[in-house]
Structure 1
Amino acid sequence: MISQSGGIASLFAGFLSWIVREHCVRSPDAVAKAWEQINPDAPTLADAGRMFAAYGSDFTLAELRYIARHPEALRLARNVAAGRQYLDFSESAGFSAEKTFVPPEPGAARQLVAPIAMTVLGFIIVAVALLANNFKGAAIVGALTALSVLVTLAEFAEVRNRHWARRAIEQSTGAYQLTPPSAELVTSAIPDSARTEGATQSG
């Protein structure tokens, strides 16, 4: 029972952190500001603060150095922020799977169709009960439906976070190789890209 309660608490904690991150990365200006002054060879605590404001997640200086020198830095930063709880990091290998990480199965998001359908049915039952002046029944079904909505959203956030974590791992271990761009290149090119990324990747 305790482990189940811990699992539910972890699920909702992931859901709440997902809401915070989604709010952050929907601001292209914050994303651009996070990158406009960063030195890929020597990031500072100020850079870490701007990254937190932009992505809603803490980054160590070693992580910032690795991400800033990566060919797809913006995507990697987004993926790491979203999948943070499932990732380990080393300066030599980048981001790897935390020992409890389980990659999402293909079509995992589609498995949420049934809970969504049940939620819609719950709202219909509540409406019918209210029309029949069965307020007690409507209150009970309404409470269960609201709980179903929260659980479904939390499960969706959890699946999505594992998806982002998998992409971060692939970027660290796949075909992408680190190339050390100059600080001038990063500071001049990233802000415009960041604005585009923030607008297109937040959905």
Structure 2
Amino acid sequence: MDFVVRAVEAGEWPAVKELRLEALRDEVASIAFLETYEQAVGRSDAFWRERAAGASHGTAARQFVAVADSGRWLGTAVALVEEPGTTDFLGHPVEERQVQIVGVYVRPEARGGHVAPELFAAASAWAYAQDGIGRVRLHFHQDNARAEGLYRKIGFVRTGRVVPLAGDPAKVEYEMVLDRAGR
């Protein structure tokens, strides 16, 4: 399968919305994403326009997509810069300038190949090109073995940090990191 990985463009908000809604209908969406399909489908077009525009340029966030030769979007990953003294999307303090990878989704027909590794390569290359970024991290739900397997294959390793889920403290997410040498 031939494809290219690139950053989204601001005007591509309908495709951003479509892929996100599909991701939220995936069989593991309830443990892979903090947002539900019902929440996302109810968002206005203005929200999706802002989301695409905000992730298409600048130095705070970037959304990458894998696009097949046919034009079909095969997958996505979002890189968010986290600043020291702020809190991450899980509500935990950020201690260093780093990038968090979120919103990872690959369509079923593109899984198991090069789409996910290429998305992560693009996101980590962008991350390390930002001033002061020392690491790229992500979190995965304790019950999402598929995600952990993918992340290990790409070169992420567990840090030992475990964070309880806000909505269900009996469940946890594990932090993984990819340092500069691992990209």
TM-score bracket, normalised by the shorter chain, equals under 0.3
Bigger Rg over Cα: 1
**Normalising by the residue count of structure 1, what TM-score does the alignment of the two structures yield?**
0.21
Q: Which has the higher helix share?
A: 1
Q: Name the structure where strand makes up a greater proportion of residues.
A: 2
